[in-house]
Structure formats: C-alpha cells, structure tokens
Structure 1
Amino acid sequence: MTFTYTPEAQLRDVTLRDGLQLTGKPLATERKVEIARELLALGVPALEIGSMARPDLVPPLADTLDVIAALTPEELARCWVWVATPRHIEKAAAAGARNFQYCLSATDSHNKANIGRTTEDSVAAMPAAVALTRDCGGSIQLCIATSFTCPFEGVVDPARVLGIAADPRTDGADDIVICDTLGQAVPAQVRGLIRAVRDETPPRRILYHGHDTWGLGVANTLTAIDAGATMVDGSLGGLGGCPFAPGASGNTATEDLLFATRPGWLTPDALAVLVRTGETLLAELGEPNRSKTAQGARSKADAFEWVIGETA
C-alpha cells in the first residue's frame, strides 16, 4: 500500500538560488545547469535557478543570466528566478526566463537591507513588474519575506502581511509566497497566517517557504499544506540562508519534505538519487548536510525500503 500526504502539494527545490546564497565556494555555471537537469529529469516539479540580486552583494549567484541562457524553453517553464525590480524582469526575460518571483519584505528594515528600498517602494513598483511579465507571456509571484519575524524588528504583525497581500497593486500576482525567512515560526503561526491569506486576500496559489533554524521546518511545511499551501520550498541537504537576515540558517531539506509527503513520482530509487545528488553537492561546497532523511537513508535498517545503505 502506498501512502501520500494529503492534501497534496508540489515541491519547488530552491537549492540553486536560496541554497547557494551563503556558500563560501562558488559553483560553476555548468554544474548548476547539470543539477537543474538532474532534478527536473527526476520529476521535481519546479526549481529556483538563480537571482537577479547585485552580483557584488550575492557573488554565488552572479552567473544567473548564464544559467538561464543554458536551459531550454521547456526546462525554463518549470524554473523560477528571484527578482526585486521591473528592471530585473527585463534582464531575466531577455535571457529566456518566464517565471519570476518578485520579492519584498514585510518590514522596511529587512527590505532596505535586502533590496535597498522601503516595502512601500517595492509594492509601488509591482504593477510595472506584472506588466513586463505579461508582455513576455510569463508568470509572477508575490513573495513576502519576513512574514513571521524580522531580524531587526522582531515579530511581524500578521496584519502587515495581509495588507501587502490584499493591496490592489499586488493583485496581478499569479501566486503568493509566504516566507518564514528566519525559521522562527511555529505551526500555530503558520496555520493562522496561511489560512488568513487563503480566506482574506485575492484567490491565487499559495506557496510556503520555510527554514529549519529552530527544527520546525518540516512541521511548519506540513501545517502550511494543511492550511492551504499547494507548493512548498526546500533545498538539498537543508542548504541555504539569507545573507541579509542574521540568525537565518538553511532551508528545510528537500529530501525531508519529499519523504514526509511522498508525492506519486517519488520512489525509493528516486529518493536515493536525490540523497546522492545532495551529498555530492554539499561535499563540493564544503557545507554540512542537515537532512535527517539523508541520514536515515544511510542507516543499517536494511528492511526499510527507503534505506540505501552506507556505501550505495
């Protein structure tokens, strides 16, 4: 008998964007493209493949336009690029990107640190970003960072997030991404905010982006799915973090989220490939592997079909 987590949600792997933001070692463009193709071929529904942030501020993602240009239109249809201005969309679209994650923060302090402007300035520019997206036949997401807590201002009032989500200037978003940027939220908070976004703001697909800083990444993500999120973010081995959010650690591990939710395409063999891909990548970068599923897969419990052993 096969068990899957219901209600179901798709996973978007963000290794190649959020996952790489804080790495000390660079990853070659060709290697990024290789990983993207491995994940897409395996059945991962969607990927984040880069960011249009200033290269001097986020050096590991400086080659994003090259990554975009190397992928086919069919591959790019399942890939997302982080943007924060209309100009970012112009540049990414010219390279071939069609899916844009327009990011701003719920608090001015983090928005200024992350993007260099107030939240109001980012909201005011979104209609132009939407128009550019429509011109190239693409899709755009409203991504609200620091939806629960801010490294500079502390706990964020849910009304602040709901106000941005319901602002007429953000109506053009196809999706909305609610982010636990610091990984400090607990399931009750996640449930409350996701439900409020679902019930009190314009109808659109809801995504949840969580970090595992306080060990609740999987629990919060499952709660978000229960509350109405239909796509969730993770990164291989729990790699990641925000360079402008002191206290943030890696994303919730892709392996852990997939093992918990068991989408139809995930077989023991597919999980084994994901585990090996994550292990190889993290070893290349000199980063720790935080995935509990990767650890479990390497155990000696051979009777469990998801175990791949210590040397396989």
Structure 2
Amino acid sequence: MYEFAPAAQLRDVTMRDGLQLTGKMLSTERKLEIIRALVDLGVPELEIGSMARGDKVPPMANTLDVIGELTAEELSQCWVWVATPRHVEKAAAAGARNFQYCFSASDSHNQANIGRTTEDSLAAMPAAIDIARSVGGAIELCIATSFTCPFEGAVPADRVIAIADDERTTGATDIVIADTLGQAVPTQVASLIGRVAAETPSRRIVFHGHDTWGLGVANTLAAISAGATLVDGSLGGLGGCPFAPGASGNTSSEEILFATRPNWFTPGTLTALVDISEKLLTELGEPMRSKTVQGARSEASAFEWVL
C-alpha cells in the first residue's frame, strides 16, 4: 500500500476550519452525521467546531449543540478551537475534553482574529490549561501565522520558537504549527518543524497547512518527515480563515490520505470519503479543490483507486 514513513495521523478539520468561510449553515444533525461517518471510516481525530462568536463566524454558532450530542467516547477523538479561558470553560461544560488553544505569532493577525495581542493570549493560557486539566482534558498550543502574516509579511522562526518555549505554555500536550495562509514551502516547513522538535519542550507536533499556493501536500509530507505526527486536512480542500486575507482552502484530507496511505485507508475508504465530500461541497455550493477526488472520478479504470 506504500504507507508513507515516518507515519503520521490525519485530523480532519472540515467541521471547523473547513466550514468557517462558507456562506451556508449546517444543522447540528448534519454535522453529527458527517462527524460520525468520518469516525466510522477510521479517521483518528477530528476538529468539530469553534467557540468563536456566532455573529462573527456564523457556521460555528451551533458548536456547543454539536458537543452536547456526542458521546464521551466520540468526544475523545474530537478537538474544539478555543482562544480564551472562558471558551475552555464553556466547551468543557458541554462535554468537550480536547481543546485547541489558538493564537497568532503575529500581533496584527491576533488582533484581527481574536481581538487581543499575542502577549495577552499567552498571559491567559495558564488559566486555560488549568480549566482543561480540572476536567481531565488535554489542551494544545496552536500557533497561527507561524510562517507568514497577511498584515506583517514573513514571521521570524525565532518568534515561533520563543512562544513554544514560553513557560506559560507548559502543560500543553501538543503544539500546532499553522501555515495559515499556505505561503510556506517544504524546506521552510521542514526547518521550523525540525527546530520545534529539537529546541522546544517534548510535545506531539501537529502541522496545519493550507493549499493556497499548491504546496499543501508537499508541505504536509515535509512536516511529517521533520517530526510532525498529526497533520490537519479538510474534505475537498474546503476552508480558510475569515480574518486572513489571501488564505484559501485547507490541504485536502483525501490528498493527505492518498499520499500517506495509513493502513486503514483503502480504495473502499476513499470511495466513501469522496461520496461524503462531494455531497457536502454540493450542499454548501463550494468548489471541489481536491485533485485526489478529481482523479478518483477519472476514466483510468485499471487503477485500483479510481471509483
């Protein structure tokens, strides 16, 4: 099956980063249907929503309802985006136990996205960690704009390393390095992920990429080779940040799986994913960006991965 080595797991982020730029809402029931279908297919982890204000990011408005309908077992595989201790508190009260505490390496994007400075977000992180621990949960340090900022340009790697080494992040189980705008190149990704692995506290390393400049899969593979063991993707390449001009869709989950070939991913699994993805994007009125889905619909019938 040509499994990519070293191995890494996929986290599908369709229900959060995938949906947040769409103009249409998905009902709680429809979100639950997709989440459970992905879990049943073998997707190891998912991002299921955000505690961002519903008036600012309408597709996330029913996140607490989604959390409340999932079982504790299902929630053990699911992550919720948070940006403040209060977010953690509210998500935990609904039943969430895995929290992605996110802020930007660049002040300008953090102000646009969260309404505070990077230092303010860092200062609040210990309280968020304490709340997560009080419910037996896990919390990630997620650093957006780790490579470039839409307002400030290139972000120095030393800035990201300094945040990762800040003692106020102690207690985070994972660190997420995000190419928010999809402007990084593979050597750049490998360099930063390698530095995170060598120079910062021992944590699971997660890479979150976008395919704006067509390097989503290449950057993901570079991140895995450099030490990332969890990588983010979205069905059909859906997604983008509403507060980052120039950011387009996430790296496609189908493309990441086709490239990495985990042992649970088979031609039959791809067939089911394509069905879920195509129906969802049609429902949302969004274009299909995944080359893997397009290839699976080709006429090269002798290839086992063609539907």
Give TM-score, length-normalised by structure 2.
1.00
Q: Partners in 2 of 1:140 and 1:30 — Cα distance?
A: 26
* 2:74 match: 75
Taking the TM superposition and a 5 Å limit, the aligned residue runs for 1:100-115 are 100-115=99-114
- Residue 37 of structure 1 is matched in structure 2 by 36
**Structure 1 residue 4: deviation in Å?**
0.3
Q: Secondary structure at the match of 1:16?
A: helix
Matches within 5 A, 1:147-296: 147-296=146-295
Q: Which runs of 4+ in 1 moved over 6 A?
A: none
- Separation in 1 of the partners of 2:163 and 2:218? 26
Shift of residue 195, structure 1, vs aligned partner: 0.3
Cα separation, 2, equivalents of 1:98 and 1:34: 20
Cα deviation, 1:212-252, whole Å, max 9, x if unaligned, reads 00000000000000000000000000000000000000000
Amino acid at match of 2:105: A
Deviation, structure 1 residue 3 = 1.4
Q: CA deviation at 1:171?
A: 1.4
Output the CA distance in 1 between the equivalents of 2:65 and 2:291: 33
> Aligned partners of 2:274 and 2:173: how far apart in 1?
32
For 1:102 and 1:228, locate their aligned partners in 2 and report how far apart those are by CA, in whole Å: 21
The whole-number CA distance in structure 2 between the counterparts of 1:156 and 1:71 is: 38
Matching residue's letter, 1:293: T
Unaligned runs of 5+ in 2: none
Q: CA RMSD in A?
A: 0.4
User: Aligned partners of 2:43 and 2:13: how far apart in 1?
Assistant: 11
Letter of the 2:273 partner, please give it: L
Q: Which runs of 5+ in 1 are unaligned?
A: none
Structure-1 separation of matches of 2:144 and 2:137: 22
Deviations 1:73-113 (A, max 9, x none): 00000000000000000000000000000000000000000
Match of 1:14 in 2: 13
What TM-score do the two structures reach when normalised by structure 1? 0.98
1:228-282 CA-to-partner distances (Å, cap 9, x unmatched) read 0000000000000000000000000000000000000001000110011000000
Q: Number of aligned residue pairs: give it.
A: 307
User: Following TM superposition, by how much is the alpha carbon of 1:25 offset from its aligned partner in structure 2, in angstroms?
Assistant: 1.0
Q: Secondary structure at the match of 2:49?
A: strand
Compute the displacement of 1:172 (Å). Answer: 1.1
The code of the aligned residue for 1:197 comes to: V
